[in-house]
Chain A
Amino acid sequence: MRRRRTLRARWPAAIAALPLLASALAGCGSSSSGGPVTMNWYNFPDDSGALQQAAERCSHASKGQYQIRYNKLPRTADGQRQQLVRRLAAHDAGVDIMGLDVTWPAEFAEAGWVREWTGALKARATADTLKAAVQTATWKDRLYAVPYNSNTQLLWYRDDLVPVPPKSWAEMLAQADALAKAGKPHYVEIQGAQYEGLTVWFNTLVTSAGGSILTPDAQAPSLGAPAVVAAGIMRATARSAAADPSLSNQMEDENRLAMESGTAAFELNYPFVYPSMKANQPKLFQHFRWAPYPGVTAGRPATVTIGGIDLAVGAYSKHPDLAFQATLCLRNRDNQLTNALKGGLPPSLRSLYQAAELTKSYPFAADVLNALDTASVRPRTPAYQNVSIALAHTLSPPAGIQPESTVSDLRGQIEDALGSKGLIP
């Protein structure tokens, strides 16, 4: 009785709130429940309004089939994962569409929390999409999510200090050293704190040296000589003049601030630093340039780690078919363009990188696309979280790395993490 009253009370409110849908509702009495299905979309919190706009556009385009509600997850990646995991472990039917960090699809797929994309849906999901981005959403040769936005790092530098951008780490450290001797700003800004960013740095270096953290079947650590080279570069950077004094505590935003304060000559960071520099330091901005991420060995371009968000359909959703359709709409060309322009996140559709609207505010679009085309993927395993925590813990602080013994420590810890044995720090 009470339940019916609240339901009845909800319809006028819903219709009043959605004048756009009112006519569609009136004309479409044939659907069983008599109104649009509510589609819950859980994704990272977006302050630009791009995600909310996409949700409204797609709800409208569905012609009354569904109404997407954008639910903001916590700010930190760990917080986002915890909330999704708690809901999914409890078989929450209210999770229809979710935004997963590119490192989670393997875990969620193995746990049976997300639906597989097959047939025509899969074809639509992968058309024109960056290859590395599709890889992040793939687990055991099946597609479990569709790339939403991508992300990758470039080398940002000041051309008043560095006339020719370095091609390799050795070259960059030598340039920083020369700048230091000349008494000029010389720091290399990189993420050295004990967190995911440190794992990203290591992954980029290991793959750039031709190796990988895990074997292709993700059953064991691979590491080997390329990992020793990578660990050696991290140590050398941390112990050279290039190292910022607070390197071991720096994350992306501290790097951005240091570059904007004028103490650094180089910065390895995501494209969000560009509009920020433009807004905060117009003077430095005139000398703010970008180049591809430096390689490990000269002549071999770096394979930079890909980041971003993949959208997945919840296994316990009551309306999976509509959820697949809604997901494809949310990541369509128009919505990705809005997200790139408003939210500043690089799209996952290749063709967008040639769009004039994008290149106007993203002068570095071609370099980002180039980096994404050759990007490396972080280890794909359901135990990724444990592997990454072990990596970051062992590699921190970078100045304390002893390449040979650190890599052999890593081997044991990764084996434990893959077997979900032992504790995480």
Chain B
Amino acid sequence: MSTSAKAAAGHGRAELSEGARQERRLGLLLCAPAVIVMVAVTAYPIAYAVYLSLQRYDLRFPAQAKWVGFGNYGAVLSSPFWWQALWVTALITVVSVAIELVLGMALALVMHRAVFGRGTVRTAVLIPYGIVTVVAAYSWQYAWTPGTGYLAALLPAGSAPLTDQWQAIGLIILAEVWKTTPFMALLLLAGLALVPGETVRAAMVDGATFWQRLRLVILPLMKPAILVALLFRTLDAFRIFDNIYVLTGGSNDTGSVSILGYDNLFTALNLGIGSAISMLIFLCVAVLAFIFIKIFGAAAPGGEPERR
């Protein structure tokens, strides 16, 4: 069945008319410049990272570079440091994205329904997102450091929350949520605008409560927007670096996989291992994106079934 369908498709393809073929050639020509730029700025670095990850390569001793095949990947995957970092990263990703989704949805509803001062509300909500992450992270860091911070002063004397693994992870998540909830809210607000007003009013006339309208009407209609928001934020959260770098520097087992990669690349100067870590992060992100598309299926952007 499937083979015959494939054969039919191949057959149909071969039978393109002269005009269609020329159109195709023109299309390829038109997108060629963009493809060339993409290859230059993304494909080449990725390929180079793959190449480096298969070597024993120390920045200090380039002459001693040696081909080791998948040895670096073996070293990373058998190291407890990698699994520790992956677990911390996964925890931060899941918790922060979950909180952001709920808070972002609430903020989106507020922004959507605000009758007066709409512009002011939206601007106020967006302020955290407009602040440079490193600047925000430093202000969090000072706030939580005993002696310099107003938040640390609220805690019992002698406690230094950024120096304990669990407390520090909690504070990293807090900083992430504070920072990126507006982004989530903005994406959800766009989705909210897609929900036709008359559908909601019809549900209202039918006697649906607010929760019923939200659960049965609004959320299903917003599914594509929610998926995009979740996908973006999950991939971003998985690559978290700046907040951790400033808040704890990855000490006390609070480092994410990106911090691990950075330390191995720039402190140990081990280009082979560092590139292998980068490639593994890349693979994790690819797997996450794939899972999202699979779960949400047709709702995913570009995932709609072929109609032609």
Chain A residues proximal to chain B, CB less than 8 Å: 78, 81-82, 85, 89, 107, 110-111, 193-195, 245-246, 248-249, 257, 382, 385-386, 389, 420-425
Contact A111 B60 (CB under 8 A): yes
Q: Known contacts being A82-B266, A85-B59, is A423 close to B81, with CB within 8 Å?
A: yes
Chain A residues within 8 Å of B269, by CB: 85
Contact B267 A78 (CB under 8 A): yes
- The docked-state distance in angstroms from the alpha carbon of A111 to that of B61 is 6
Chain B residues within 8 Å of A195, by CB: 251
Among B58, B251, B264, which residue has its beta carbon within 8 angstroms of that of A423?
B264
Contact B267 A422 (CB under 8 A): no
A103 to chain B, nearest CB (A): 13
User: What 0/1 pattern do residues 43 to 75 of B give for CB contact below 8 A with A?
Assistant: 000000000000010111100000000000001
- The docked-state distance in angstroms from the alpha carbon of A420 to that of B59 is 12
Task: Return the 5 tightest CB-CB contacts between A and B, nearest first.
Answer: A111-B60, A249-B163, A423-B79, A425-B81, A424-B268
Among A81, A382, A422, which residue has its beta carbon within 8 angstroms of that of B75?
A422
Among A81, A110, A249, A257, which residue has its beta carbon within 8 angstroms of that of B160?
A249
- The docked-state distance in angstroms from the alpha carbon of A211 to that of B266 is 32
Nearest B-chain residue to A76, judged by Cβ: B249
Contact B252 A194 (CB under 8 A): yes
Chain A residues within 8 Å of B160, by CB: 246, 249
**Contacts A/B (CB < 8 Å), 23 sampled:** A78-B267, A82-B266, A85-B269, A89-B59, A110-B61, A111-B60, A193-B251, A195-B251, A246-B160, A248-B163, A249-B160, A249-B163, A420-B268, A420-B270, A422-B75, A422-B79, A422-B273, A423-B76, A423-B81, A423-B260, A423-B277, A424-B263, A425-B260
Chain B residues within 8 Å of A420, by CB: 56, 58, 268, 270
Chain A residues within 8 Å of B147, by CB: 257
Contact A424 B267 (CB under 8 A): yes
Among A82, A245, A257, which residue has its beta carbon within 8 angstroms of that of B267?
A82
Q: How many A-B residue pairs have CB under 8 A?
A: 60
Contact A424 B58 (CB under 8 A): no
User: What 0/1 pattern do residues 256 to 272 of B give for CB contact below 8 A with A?
Assistant: 00001001101111100
Among A82, A111, A194, A246, which residue has its beta carbon within 8 angstroms of that of B158?
A246
B261 to chain A, nearest CB (A): 10
Nearest A-chain residue to B273, judged by Cβ: A423
- The docked-state distance in angstroms from the alpha carbon of A422 to that of B76 is 7
- The docked-state distance in angstroms from the alpha carbon of A246 to that of B269 is 32
Chain B residues within 8 Å of A111, by CB: 60-61
Q: Does B82 contact A (CB under 8 A)?
A: yes
- The docked-state distance in angstroms from the alpha carbon of A421 to that of B264 is 11
Nearest B-chain residue to A107, judged by Cβ: B60
Chain A residues within 8 Å of B59, by CB: 85, 89
Nearest A-chain residue to B276, judged by Cβ: A423
Other than the given A85-B60, A423-B277, A424-B264, 12 more pairs (CB < 8 A) read: A82-B267, A85-B269, A107-B60, A195-B251, A246-B158, A249-B163, A422-B273, A423-B273, A424-B81, A424-B268, A424-B270, A425-B260
Tell me which residues from 199 to 253 in chain B have a Cβ below 8 Å from any Cβ of chain A. Answer: 251-252
Chain B residues within 8 Å of A389, by CB: 267-268
Q: Known contacts being A194-B252, A246-B160, is A421 close to B267, with CB within 8 Å?
A: no
A22 to chain B, nearest CB (A): 43
Chain A residues within 8 Å of B270, by CB: 420, 424
- The docked-state distance in angstroms from the alpha carbon of A195 to that of B269 is 18
- The docked-state distance in angstroms from the alpha carbon of A145 to that of B263 is 27
Contact A245 B260 (CB under 8 A): no
Among B158, B255, B268, which residue has its beta carbon within 8 angstroms of that of A385?
B268
Chain B residues within 8 Å of A421, by CB: 75
Chain A residues within 8 Å of B268, by CB: 385-386, 389, 420, 423-424
- The docked-state distance in angstroms from the alpha carbon of A422 to that of B269 is 12
- The docked-state distance in angstroms from the alpha carbon of A78 to that of B255 is 17
- The docked-state distance in angstroms from the alpha carbon of A195 to that of B248 is 13
- The docked-state distance in angstroms from the alpha carbon of A382 to that of B147 is 38
Contact A246 B163 (CB under 8 A): yes
Nearest A-chain residue to B146, judged by Cβ: A246
User: What 0/1 pattern do residues 266 to 287 of B give for CB contact below 8 A with A?
Assistant: 1111100100010000000000
Nearest B-chain residue to A416, judged by Cβ: B75
A281 to chain B, nearest CB (A): 15
- The docked-state distance in angstroms from the alpha carbon of A193 to that of B75 is 27
Nearest A-chain residue to B84, judged by Cβ: A425
Contact B75 A385 (CB under 8 A): no
Chain A residues within 8 Å of B267, by CB: 78, 81-82, 385, 389, 424
- The docked-state distance in angstroms from the alpha carbon of A98 to that of B277 is 32
- The docked-state distance in angstroms from the alpha carbon of A289 to that of B160 is 29
B42 to chain A, nearest CB (A): 23
Chain B CB within 10 Å, residue with most, of A194, A421, A425: A425
Chain A CB within 10 Å, residue with most, of B75, B76, B264, B267: B267
Nearest B-chain residue to A249, judged by Cβ: B163
A320 to chain B, nearest CB (A): 21
A144 to chain B, nearest CB (A): 14
- The docked-state distance in angstroms from the alpha carbon of A81 to that of B56 is 22
Nearest A-chain residue to B268, judged by Cβ: A424
- The docked-state distance in angstroms from the alpha carbon of A76 to that of B192 is 48
Nearest B-chain residue to A257, judged by Cβ: B147
- The docked-state distance in angstroms from the alpha carbon of A421 to that of B56 is 9
User: What 0/1 pattern do residues 146 to 184 of B give for CB contact below 8 A with A?
Assistant: 010000000000101001000000000000000000000
B73 to chain A, nearest CB (A): 12
Chain A CB within 10 Å, residue with most, of B79, B269, B270: B269
Chain A residues within 8 Å of B60, by CB: 85, 89, 107, 110-111, 382
A160 to chain B, nearest CB (A): 24
Tell me which residues from 1 to 58 in chain B have a Cβ below 8 Å from any Cβ of chain A. Answer: 56, 58
- The docked-state distance in angstroms from the alpha carbon of A423 to that of B59 is 15
Chain A residues within 8 Å of B273, by CB: 422-423
A391 to chain B, nearest CB (A): 14
- The docked-state distance in angstroms from the alpha carbon of A423 to that of B277 is 10
B298 to chain A, nearest CB (A): 41
Chain B residues within 8 Å of A246, by CB: 158, 160, 163
Chain A residues within 8 Å of B260, by CB: 423, 425
- The docked-state distance in angstroms from the alpha carbon of A420 to that of B277 is 16
Nearest B-chain residue to A420, judged by Cβ: B58
